[in-house]
């Protein structure tokens, strides 16, 4: 297997991070939907602070995605965690020169003919 592009960004680690992040986010959004259907308040600090700030400034705050309680904060925290992991992992690939042999070695299967030669 010959790779012309030395900067392969969607390697197995990044794929696992993306899949895991989307599983967590789907779970958070499903729990938020469940809370909304059953009229659970789940008020957290974020909502209380926004409400008090709105009363002081005489404005109504509107969020892009309105999730009950602090689930919105949790969803963004999970997304930031995984994006940070992926960017930290690929930092070397983004900003440094990589040897072609190092990139190819990640994708050669141990029982393939190329590994034996």
End-to-end CA distance of the chain: 12
Whether residue 108 contacts residue 114, with contact meaning beta carbons closer than 8 Å, is answered with: yes
Interatomic CA distance for residues 68 and 29, integer angstroms: 10
Q: What is the mean pLDDT of the segment spanning 9-35?
A: 88
pLDDT digit string, tens, across residues 44-92: 666 677 677 777 877 776 666 677 767 777 888 999 999 999 888 888 7
């Amino acid at each position: 297997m010959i790779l012309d592009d030395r900067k392969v960004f969607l390697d197995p680690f990044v794929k696992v991070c993306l899949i895991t992040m989307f599983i967590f986010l789907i779970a958070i959004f499903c729990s938020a939907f469940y809370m909304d259907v059953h009229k659970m308040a789940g008020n957290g600090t974020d909502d209380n602070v926004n409400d008090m700030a709105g009363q002081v400034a005489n404005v109504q705050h509107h969020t892009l995605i309105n999730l009950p309680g602090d689930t919105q904060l949790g969803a963004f925290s999970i997304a930031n965690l995984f994006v940070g992991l992926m960017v930290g992992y690929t930092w070397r690939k983004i900003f440094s020169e990589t040897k072609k042999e190092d990139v190819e070695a990640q994708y050669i299967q141990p029982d393939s003919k190329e590994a034996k030669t």
